[in-house]
Chains A and B, each alone.
Chain A
């Protein structure tokens, strides 16, 4: 298909390439001539802006890290969840080829339920278990402008589930991606990727971008080194339109359609506690979404944004399948009030309708349910002390059918002691509203061996959701310091103390003796709120420009979480745990001959226990991932790169299995990428 595109386009490509080449040579000498240009010439000049927004973000009174397009390009990482490894303090663990456990500040898991993830303003966590199906969001990475990663609660601005962090993925405006883009990747583990993009304009105010991406990935490895059989492929096609309507209005439209196909070996419990039945499974996903955003810039400088989206997906996953349609609409306004107040306020509503897939092992009661949300927020940023300090006060109130009313207030303080010293501190309360699974699910988790309590009969451990299960709250205290002791050296430190009012546990609700087909006991376990837990931690980021051609950055984060499993030996549902120590070190070198040599090491400490479903205590040893990337542009428009990933070991585990599926180990691999812009 791609070849066909190329043939059709080739005359135009040539022409565009020639023009692009001319533009490139122009810009080199342009700098010096800018001052000599006439006003008329200046008015005709096209401008781009890269770093502005990032500078504004560095003033935020929160632990924020921005992954830029340059970071993405030079990391050599190939998927959205993998990219989050670049952010300090974020634990990214690949459970198998297409499932990830991602969280900040503890509580990690496939169903990590305390991170809010947004793609271009669209919330992508599922109300089924408050987690994210990362495999469904396979965007072309070159179209991402930046990823803002906020560690700590962001509930006042973002709403429920922004408890431990927010991941905000923002794609480029169609205006900033003129021309075509073709990328092809081939390798040993990341078998084949291809993406195509084309950005153009109908006139000076209507810009669009079309894209299509295809991914095929091999399975990961079993602990013995054989293929785990979890290979997958996916394809996405989409469109983005940025349309300037008059002087002060802008309309953005986004649409994406995706299909994906997954393989896996699933293991189910049987009535015999010593036996599990295995089954090869193949299933697919369909997803589509459409978003429209209207932005109006008022004469006074304030900005109004009205946004609505429709999101549909059908996951035919035999373990955790659901069909869901979500409608969301919201309005936000930002205005500057005289005497140093910046007000932000907004309100919105969302409706999400699902239809859960029923299997022998799991079902939802009721199988169909519609959930509605209503929310409103207000925030005031007040400038103090000749504007070198600011206090931000805000609150979000939210109503959900699952959790009732929630008030999520926050107070933040920022003080710029000097241009190179910034301190910030904040206190906030955030809520994690219950999900469908916690209220409505019935899952056959495990068959336990007979004990005197079960009359020596095998016990079927059945999870039964509790419709009255309520919200969990976090009270967080955070502080941070940003310092630039030298032009080439930057430091960013954040410390936090998180107090969760109640941790989710499981309690034995009832037991029943069944005689057929073989005598067994059904032990029904329901989620209950247990005692609270407190976590502490610190995150440090250091950036150093050793030379014009050599940039280094490193981060280290430390987490102290109580070992809840040791205190309560019985079934538990939620773990506070993630590695106590996380670190990464990256080096980017621009070498003579226009070679780029980039090295990245990611370290995750050992995890004592991640077993959520079973009584067996398991752990994950500490591991290091080492990636190496070598790239060189061949011409102005053509570039190749070679990336070798997981260099240190043939295969290594990053996480424990969850639910019925196996975890697999990540394999060492290498891939070659060729990219052509025209």
Chain B
């Protein structure tokens, strides 16, 4: 075949190049085989769409946070879970939490593109499209007993409560304990123990 004909490339001639290919392929293959063996001995976890996983995380967070008002306010009929932003997790929230209950109340998922539409929510997921308006939104929510969750980078550092972050192929989360407690919500120590980073002076479950 013509490809195998020698050529006069300055730094690697044709046959050399092919030898180089073959060598590198062989080396690569060895690495690949080894790695696959290592990978195969490890339990292969299921793979899910990122949006679905984020929805599931958000739902779980709500289980580990207490809203004192539910104890006193009997007038509420649903747990309002709001999604603020343009790309509302591709509809994943409804798929994942549809028909579920939180703190004894059926979960109602509401969408909005302005904070004013969602101010009476119990939990607010802020999507990436709101990255630039983050501080504006958080200022608008200050003092309200709303748990804020977001996948915007730097969410927790900017005053958000729980930030979701992708690390390698998995999601992890960061918790801003003072921000949660400031609005009268109660956060479980189990949540803090599993968090990658906990912001706050008293951080019992400091990051692993």
Contacts and interface: CB of A to CB of B under 8 A. Distances in A.
Nearest to A212: B25
5 contacts: A31-B48, A37-B56, A45-B170, A247-B167, A259-B18
A371 interface: no
Given A27-B46, A301-B131, A301-B157, A261 B171 contact: no
A458 to B, nearest CB: 36
Contact of A19 (B3, B31, B44, B166): B44
A463 B16 CA distance: 39
Nearest to B158: A301
Given A235-B3, A297-B153, A47 B53 contact: yes
B90 interface: yes
Q: Which 3 A-B pairs have the closest CB atoms?
A: A301-B154, A49-B50, A200-B35
A41 to B, nearest CB: 9
Interface string A25-54: 011001100110111101111111111100
Contact of A175 (B33, B35, B169): B169
A166 to B, nearest CB: 23
B46 A23 contact: yes
Given A301-B131, A340-B136, A43 B113 contact: no
Contacts of B155: 301
Contacts of A257: 17, 20-21
Interface string A49-85: 1111001100100000000000000000000000000
A45 B46 contact: yes
B170 A200 contact: no
Contacts of B190: 39
A9 to B, nearest CB: 7
Nearest to B207: A247
B96 interface: yes
B170 A44 contact: yes
A342 B128 CA distance: 14
Given A34-B55, A56-B128, A59-B86, A316 B46 contact: no
Contacts of A30: 46, 48
Which range contains the number of A residues in contact with the other chain?
Answer: 35 or more
Nearest to B57: A42
A419 B32 contact: no
A200 B194 contact: no
A272 interface: no
A596 to B, nearest CB: 21
Contacts of A351: none
B154 A55 contact: no
Contacts of B59: 35
Which range contains the number of B residues in contact with the other chain?
Answer: 35 or more
B21 A46 contact: no
Residue among B10, B44, B64, B190 with the highest chain A CB neighbour number at 10 A: B44
Nearest to B20: A257
B47 interface: yes
Interface stretch (A202-210, A547-555, A600-608, A658-666): A202-210
Given A19-B44, A200-B35, A301-B157, A175 B9 contact: no
A386 interface: yes
Interface in A446-481: none
Given A42-B57, A200-B31, A261-B5, 8 more contacts: A1-B25, A12-B37, A46-B47, A52-B51, A59-B129, A208-B35, A300-B154, A301-B158
Classify the secondary structure of A's interface with B.
mixed
B71 interface: no
B45 interface: yes
B35 A39 contact: no
Contacts of A43: 170-172, 194
B29 A31 contact: no
A327 B3 CA distance: 27
A26 to B, nearest CB: 4
A280 interface: no
Interface string A468-506: 000000000000000000000000000000000000000
B76 interface: no
A282 B2 contact: yes
B12 interface: yes
Interface in B22-77: 24-25, 28-29, 31-33, 35-40, 44-53, 55-57, 59-60, 64
A47 B50 contact: yes
Nearest to B193: A39
B7 A45 contact: no
A5 B37 CA distance: 16
A301 B153 contact: yes
Given A52-B87, A284-B7, A340-B136, A27 B47 contact: yes
A35 B100 contact: yes
B132 to A, nearest CB: 5
B3 A261 contact: yes
Contacts of A38: 60
A619 B155 CA distance: 59
A616 interface: no
Contacts of A625: none
A9 B37 CA distance: 11
Given A261-B2, A336-B131, A40 B50 contact: no
A31 B171 contact: no
A210 B47 contact: no
B199 to A, nearest CB: 11
Nearest to A236: B21
B10 A39 contact: no
Nearest to A282: B2
Interface string A366-386: 000000000000000101001
Nearest to A34: B56
A387 B132 contact: yes
Nearest to A25: B46
Contacts of B133: 340, 383, 387
Contacts of B24: 237, 239
B178 interface: no
Contact of B167 (A44, A202, A244, A302): A244
Contacts of A207: 168
Contacts of A323: 10
Contacts of A1: 25
B49 A48 contact: yes
A1 to B, nearest CB: 8
B196 to A, nearest CB: 8
A44 B191 CA distance: 15
A15 interface: yes
B141 interface: no
Interface string A424-435: 000000000000
A8 interface: yes
B111 to A, nearest CB: 10
Contacts of B128: 52, 56
Contacts of B152: 301
B97 interface: yes
